[in-house]
Amino acid sequence: MSDDTNILGPSTDHYDAEDCFDDVAPRAKEVPRAAQVAAAREIVKQAQASRLPAPFLRVEPSTGDVGEVDVDDVLGEILGDIAEENDKPAPFAPIDSPSFPLTQKLHRKFKAAMPTPKVMRVDTEESYAKYMDGKRKPYIAVLEERLAQLEENVAEHEADNHSGGRVARAEAALTQHASDGHGAAVDVLGAEVEHAKRRAEVCGDEIPLSLPPGTEKNVRAWQDGSLICCSMRLPGPDGKVRIATTSTPAERHVEEVMGYVVDANIDPMEVMGTLPLMAQILGAGALVTQIAAAAPELLAQPEVKAGKPFVGKVTPVSDPAVAAVMALLQMCRAGDKRALKEVKKLRAMKGSEKLFASAEKGFEQAEAGRMKERA
């Protein structure tokens, strides 16, 4: 007997998986549009309630490029967002915590207002065009690949004597494309090529933003791979335009949206279809706020004043972890039982000493400031 008879596969399985497991297999949930809209509105309400004005941001030169700076998050280590050891169990999951719901909600709120350190570019219009041309190269390569495939298909049709009107039009379009680069001819080459063309123009996928009238032309947002990116046109110190650019991982904002889903008691299935877009919009909206907050410091840099490109690390002066614990301590002083319970648990955890020391120091400084104002 051949050994092949012992290998499971279509010829040896004695059941139909779909029929056999039909009773227990998960089914895709049909979510009415009205339910999706209502869920999206609740998520936006949670985001609006959680967002705080951007804090003061410190700018220093950097040799990096746009993106986030990888730094340790003290509260994240304590709560399990950043595991110190692989075999160390986290007190609760990053999205939903039965043990520390209040702490985690406060942390999300302050973290949204005080983002992780970022790298920001400031360009002249000329240097920005050069920078973006470099970022477009992978997308242009995909566009060229799509066009080459179409040209190959045209050649095959000709060889098979299928050179009708459609082939003739495609051939003419390809001839025009060869003569004028990525011109209007691309528009007639089909949906796939058109999509590749748009991605090459935008450097990824464009993100729609709701902006005050008159500001749309000064802000653009897009997703390039796993990064949500944003550029903002600013009036330079010499009267010429400067363009500030930064980015944030899309995954971070997917988690942010899921946190709002939990806060709003929404069934996650109701927002699965719109989750990526909502993460894009909230992530890009946060970048708009952060660039605007950093703009005065960015424009004051010597290189920017001299009309040269500048790359800087932008760091919030405040710490979202410390701010969250300060808020917890303030609630404890007001007698909040939930806060008292979570603070007791947090104090017992490894690594909490430094965090509480910083929070208590912040309280002392704030109290000193109030006393000075009264005097």
User: Residue 334 above 80 pLDDT?
Assistant: yes
Copy the structure tokens of residue 111: 């973290």
Residue 1's pLDDT band (boundaries 50, 70, 90)? very low
Rounded Cα distance between 327 and 106, Å, is 8
Residue 71's pLDDT band (boundaries 50, 70, 90)? low
Could you give the dihedral angle defined by the CA atoms of residues 278, 283, 284 and 288, in that order, rounded to the nearest 10 degrees?
Answer: 130
Copy the structure tokens of residue 11: 């010829």
pLDDT tens per residue, range 162-184: 545 544 555 555 455 444 444 44
Rounded Cα distance between 316 and 129, Å, is 29
Residue 125's pLDDT band (boundaries 50, 70, 90)? very high
Q: Whole-model pTM?
A: 0.66
Mean pLDDT across the chain, nearest whole number? 76
**Per-residue confidence (pLDDT) for residue 215, from 0 to 100:** 84
Burial of 162 (0-12, 13-18, 19+ CB in 10 A): exposed
Which ranges in the chain belong to alpha helices (H)? Answer: 17-20, 33-50, 74-79, 101-113, 125-159, 165-180, 191-202, 250-263, 275-299, 302-305, 320-333, 337-347, 352-374
User: Residue 186 above 90 pLDDT?
Assistant: no
Q: Give the residue, 47 or 174, on which the prediction is more confident.
A: 47
DSSP string, 50-87: H------EEEEE-SS-SEE-----HHHHHHTSS-SSTT
Of 194, 179, 184, whose CA–CA distance to 146 is shortest?
194
Collapse the DSSP code of 118 into the 3-class scheme (helix H, G, I; strand E, B; otherwise coil) and give the result: strand
Copy the structure tokens of residue 338: 């939930």
User: Residue 155 above 80 pLDDT?
Assistant: no
Distances (CA, A) of 237 to 60, 124, 299: 18, 12, 7
Instruction: Kindly state the average pLDDT of the residues 337-341.
Output: 94
Residue 29's pLDDT band (boundaries 50, 70, 90)? low
Residue 258's pLDDT band (boundaries 50, 70, 90)? confident
Instruction: Kindly state the average pLDDT of the residues 33-44.
Output: 82
Burial of 104 (0-12, 13-18, 19+ CB in 10 A): buried
pLDDT tens per residue, range 271-304: 888 888 999 999 998 899 899 999 999 999 999 9
Contact 95, 255 (CB under 8 A): yes
DSSP string, 202-246: HTSEE------TT-GGGEEEEEETTEEEEEEEEE-TTSSEEEEEE
Rounded Cα distance between 71 and 81, Å, is 13
Residue type at 137?
A: K
Domain locations along the chain: 72-115+319-375, 128-202
313 membership: H or E segment, kind and range:
strand 310-316
pLDDT tens per residue, range 187-230: 445 677 788 888 999 999 999 888 888 888 899 999 999 999 99
Q: Give the residue, 153 or 347, on which the prediction is more confident.
A: 347
Q: Give the residue, 248 or 30, on which the prediction is more confident.
A: 248
**Per-residue confidence (pLDDT) for residue 219, from 0 to 100:** 95
Least confident interval from 38-52, 229-243, 262-276 = 38-52
Straight-line distance from the first to the last Cα atom of the chain, in angstroms, rounded to the nearest whole number:
98
Please give the angle made by the CA atoms of 50, 337 and 357, to the nearest 5 degrees.
70
**Per-residue confidence (pLDDT) for residue 20, from 0 to 100:** 44
Rounded Cα distance between 302 and 10, Å, is 69
**Per-residue confidence (pLDDT) for residue 5, from 0 to 100:** 42
Question: Phi/psi at 230 (nearest 5 deg)?
Answer: -150, 135
Residue 331's pLDDT band (boundaries 50, 70, 90)? very high
Could you give the dihedral angle defined by the CA atoms of residues 355, 356, 357 and 361, in that order, rounded to the nearest 10 degrees?
Answer: 110
User: Residue 43 above 70 pLDDT?
Assistant: yes
